[in-house]
Amino acid sequence: MSLAEIQKVSGREKDAGCFIQMQRLQEQEMMQQKEHEKSVSGLHLNWANKPMEPRKVKSLAEIQAEEQERLAKVNVHFFVAIAFL
């Protein structure tokens, strides 16, 4: 066998080895993708199935009234504290 023939066979073997390695990597990636899909599909996202509860939205007047009540309480506590000083 000549040197050229040996190099040709060796090149083919390298190409075949690379091809096999690429196939294995692709198979491994496919397996990982399938495992990922299984794990994602296995999740039960119950929050997505629950109906949304209607939220009570406060009007501006309600918010202002609450703020007035809060300020009145703070002022009462402040004046009581000053009275005892």
- Domain assignment present for residue 30? The answer is yes
Q: What's the pTM?
A: 0.38
Residue type, 29: E
Q: Is residue 70 part of a domain?
A: no
Identify the pLDDT of residue 29: 93
The answer as to whether 9 is a domain residue is: yes
Residue 66 domain-assigned?
no
- The per-residue pLDDT for 41 is 67
Q: What are phi and psi of 50, to 5 degrees?
A: -80, 140
How many domains does the chain contain in total? 1
State residue 70's pLDDT score.
92
The 3-state DSSP class for residue 58 equals coil
| pLDDT tens string 23-65 | 999 999 999 998 888 776 666 666 667 777 788 899 999 999 9
Identify whether 64 is part of a domain: no
Phi-psi group of 50: left, alpha or beta (phi > 0 → left; psi -120 to 50 → alpha; rest → beta): beta
Domain that holds residue 29: 1-41
pLDDT mean over 57-74:
93
| CA separation, residue 8 to residues 4, 17, 20 (Å) | 6, 14, 18
